[in-house]
Structure 1
Amino acid sequence: MSVTQAETLSVVVERELAHPPEKVWRALTQPHLIEAWLMKSDFRPEVGAAFHMDAEWGGVDGEVLEIEPNRTLAYTWAGKGLESVVTWTLTPSGAGTRLRMEQTGFRPDQQLAYRGATAGWPRFLEGLERVLAGLD
């Protein structure tokens, strides 16, 4: 039996945040806030906008695919041979916001990138929570 299309892996991280969706949205879309929890970035929340993020370990190039303010943000995430998509979903909840991050597109031969994302995103989201706690 031959497989014509390789299965890809996804990383999903979900958090209940004690902040309203509008505040979480700011931290996901404003470059100075993105830098505080993720990476230095020239991100613009506009569909079709290209952006670059930089960290000590390297850079990521992306393009905004979808925006529904305070609800959905999706962009490509390309770096070190990885072509993936990151989708943020914000759902109002009793405590504030249920935040879901899904990064899709890890090929079976990209175990190192997959393991890195599996370990990295929870740490990034901890940083996001610290940034949110400091916002008015």
Structure 2
Amino acid sequence: MNNTAAETRSVVVEREIPYPPEKIWRALTQPHLIEEWLMKSDFKPVTGHRFDFRAGWGSVDCRVLAVEPNKTLSYTWDAQGLESVVTWTLTPSSAGTRLRMEQSGFRPDQQRAYQGAKIGWQQFLAALEQMLVKVD
């Protein structure tokens, strides 16, 4: 098992967001809000729940791995040959919340997917921050 971990890479994006974890948690777990910044989905914050993200370019098959309200959310993210795990961690901070997103599981031969994720998550998190300004 250790071998595989060493051969895969992760994309990590961290942001300080001036809102409490509860507000950001809603944006990560409510389908109508997820659609505003990420994609359409039938997500439910229930361990074992299978769901997908849908966009113009295709879809992502997912399964919820872990849910700790306002703290941690983890799900599989399988798309176009990529089998990965996305983990969100919310930590209260003096500014509001430190939000950390890690997508792990990129193999060495998935350089294109890895680079795409690095760019994509920056865009998704920027859209998330813009959306948080607008919602209560």
1:2-59, Cα deviation, whole Å (9 max, x unpaired): xx64600100000000010000000000000000000000000000000011111111
Tell me how far 1:82 sits from its aligned partner: 0.3
1:8 matched residue in structure 2: 8
Identity between Structure 1 and Structure 2 (%): 68
1:18 matched residue in structure 2: 18
TM-score (norm 1): 0.95
Letter in 1 for 2:52: H
2:30 matched residue in structure 1: 30
TM-score (norm 2): 0.95
More helix by share: 2
1:61 matched residue in structure 2: 61
> Counterparts of 1:26 and 1:112 in 2: how far apart (Å)?
31
Name structure 1 gaps, 5 residues minimum. none
> Counterparts of 2:120 and 2:57 in 1: how far apart (Å)?
12
1:48 matched residue in structure 2: 48
Q: Name the SS for the 1:125 alignment partner.
A: helix
Q: Name the SS for the 2:121 alignment partner.
A: helix
Tell me how far 1:128 sits from its aligned partner: 0.3
Letter in 2 for 1:7: E
Q: Name the SS for the 1:86 alignment partner.
A: strand
CA RMSD of aligned residues (A): 0.9
> Counterparts of 2:10 and 2:31 in 1: how far apart (Å)?
25
1:83 matched residue in structure 2: 83
Q: Name the SS for the 2:7 alignment partner.
A: coil
Letter in 2 for 1:59: S
Q: Name the SS for the 1:77 alignment partner.
A: strand
Q: Name the SS for the 2:87 alignment partner.
A: strand
> Counterparts of 2:11 and 2:102 in 1: how far apart (Å)?
6
1:111 matched residue in structure 2: 111
- How many residues align structurally? 133
Q: Name the SS for the 2:62 alignment partner.
A: strand
1:120 matched residue in structure 2: 120
> Counterparts of 1:109 and 1:18 in 2: how far apart (Å)?
38
Residue 133 (structure 2) pairs with residue 94 (structure 1): no
> Counterparts of 2:56 and 2:115 in 1: how far apart (Å)?
18
1:74 matched residue in structure 2: 74
